[in-house]
Structure 1
């Protein structure tokens, strides 16, 4: 078992524990570390040596934030967890803005879906993959996911423009209410589709000693479902929050007389909620998840001495 997963096993089994860890791992300054520093940190974490507690914490933070737990390779810098907020914040904000044309809405949705598709793929469970190169099937899945999600995400603007909607209430519904369940659903489908090969091939499961027992499709389905739910919570809450906050503030006496002050609050609200929800959504489920013996395939149940096995959930 990779040192990253062993660390999660020891310290990441409670929600508050995971939240504290992710709060440290999402520090953007970690992106300034070189590949050599990251690889050294990963080596120190798994070397079995007994460095100081400070060195151990520093090595764990750098390794967990930058190294893929299945391949042991350093993640591309723009798809590391600490890069998610700085890169996605302006894209998410632009995607949830009211647009005047379908083309502008399509462009913003394309950027949003492309980045999250690449992020989901880079942080997948890769334990069953024999080749490092992306397969043609996976490439087509990724391209199809981006194309479908881009068109579906632009649906509110298409409704307004193509049907020539003039009703203020209908426009408000299409721009503030409809995007919330739509964004959450697309985030769920995006991750589920991009990582569908895991459910077909299975992912590695481990015993309590960290030894690989085999590949399990049941564990893969659980891992993908949990991660998809966490991504839906992230995007759905970020989409709902700014409009909800704005509608509440509009009812106050202060903003009734100063409605123009609400405009600059929207980008702040998007960035604030996204930054708040990223560690929360990452912490909803353990990185090193467990699956009960009775939920495993029959051929794996005999290898379960203590009632459950472990699996890497991915991100």
Structure 2
């Protein structure tokens, strides 16, 4: 690499204005293999990133090695706070955790105790992910955390148990889709509730250079809405298509001949779909999202329009 070439590692390696650029970025940050990186290597990656940001000196590193350090850093450290995130809350844990949980939810969807247990496990995991990946600068209290957890779990259980009772006489495949309906309903509750503080106080909106301008509730609404759509879309392929495959295997008698294969097949199918759906649905919206100043609430517009010159577009971290 030329000695005078500077790399902006505060921006992803690939063009985030394009869908495939974002998809390539999320394929690296959601890569389950990142979970195997040791704490020592994570700290080394953070040191490399911090040093390069401060001095712009790569030392003996190649460009690829610098980007690999940044990828490791992004997979484990919060983009706003810089704090190391808990292991199962990281995006790299999405595929192995979700494939196990959703596979079991779809395997044991007929039994009420099993529905209660696996929906509880799912919402516990979702609460951890939502808390870990919340937008920075918006602390959540223990009371808000407990309220979100209780409402999301309750919403999922009411949806799952209620729909199960309604579809008893429907074709078997309809019953297999009940867990997806419950997950979608719970996401619509869990994500806004987990980030309620952002809806009340707003999130930071910045200029093009990353300088904070003010707080905006409207930006928070847009970010939370985008995350909710991404999460539901992420679950859709595995939870909607896996029942079709299982219904086919059931009609052929495969599940009767090999009853032990039910859960492993569904878990593996969910894992296959999630491997692609997780990064590709995260890429639906830009992480560094933009919004026109005219779309913000009047109070935020007044603050921004006092700047010289006032920007027409501002940016915010939508969260994950």
- Coarse TM-score class (shorter-chain normalised): 0.7 to 0.9
Contact between 1:202 and 1:218, CA under 8 Å: does it hold in 2? Answer: yes
Contact between 1:12 and 1:18, CA under 8 Å: does it hold in 2? Answer: yes
**Bigger Cα displacement from structure 2, 194-203 vs 148-157:** 148-157
Alignment of 1:195-206 (within 5 A): 195-206=195-206
Unaligned runs of at least 5 residues, structure 1: none
User: Given the two structures, how large is their TM-score scaled by the length of structure 2?
Assistant: 0.82
Q: Does 2:213 align with 1:213? A: yes
- Residues 144, 4 of structure 1: alpha-carbon distance in 2 compared, 3 angstrom cutoff: farther
Alignment of 1:87-102 (within 5 A): 87-102=97-112
**Bigger Cα displacement from structure 2, 256-265 vs 151-160:** 256-265
Contact between 2:152 and 2:186, CA under 8 Å: does it hold in 1? Answer: no
Measured on the aligned residues, the alpha-carbon RMSD in Å equals 2.9
Secondary structure of 2:314's aligned partner: strand
Unaligned runs of at least 5 residues, structure 2: 1-6
User: Given the two structures, how large is their TM-score scaled by the length of structure 1?
Assistant: 0.83
Secondary structure of 1:125's aligned partner: coil
Give the match for residue 147 of structure 1. 153
- Residues 22, 44 of structure 1: alpha-carbon distance in 2 compared, 3 angstrom cutoff: farther
Among 299, 312, 315, the alignment partner of 1:310 is: 315
For the residues of structure 1 that align with 2:189 and 2:93, how far apart are their CA atoms? 22
- CA shift for structure 1 position 218: 1.1
- Residues 76, 257 of structure 1: alpha-carbon distance in 2 compared, 3 angstrom cutoff: closer
**Bigger Cα displacement from structure 2, 8-17 vs 236-245:** 8-17
Secondary structure of 1:208's aligned partner: coil
Give the match for residue 224 of structure 2. 224
Give the match for residue 55 of structure 1. 65
Secondary structure of 2:84's aligned partner: coil
For the residues of structure 2 that align with 1:67 and 1:38, how far apart are their CA atoms? 10
For the residues of structure 1 that align with 2:279 and 2:235, how far apart are their CA atoms? 13
Secondary structure of 1:285's aligned partner: coil
Contact between 1:25 and 1:64, CA under 8 Å: does it hold in 2? Answer: yes
- CA shift for structure 1 position 171: 5.0
Q: Deviations over 1:226-268 (max 9, x none)?
A: 0111011112332101123445x569xxx85867589564332
- CA shift for structure 1 position 23: 1.1
- Residues 159, 44 of structure 1: alpha-carbon distance in 2 compared, 3 angstrom cutoff: farther
- Residues 80, 296 of structure 1: alpha-carbon distance in 2 compared, 3 angstrom cutoff: same
Contact between 2:304 and 2:311, CA under 8 Å: does it hold in 1? Answer: no
Contact between 1:41 and 1:62, CA under 8 Å: does it hold in 2? Answer: no
Give the match for residue 23 of structure 2. 19
For the residues of structure 1 that align with 2:78 and 2:231, how far apart are their CA atoms? 19
Give the match for residue 3 of structure 2. none
**Bigger Cα displacement from structure 2, 10-19 vs 79-88:** 10-19
For the residues of structure 1 that align with 2:75 and 2:253, how far apart are their CA atoms? 46
For the residues of structure 2 that align with 1:299 and 1:227, how far apart are their CA atoms? 28
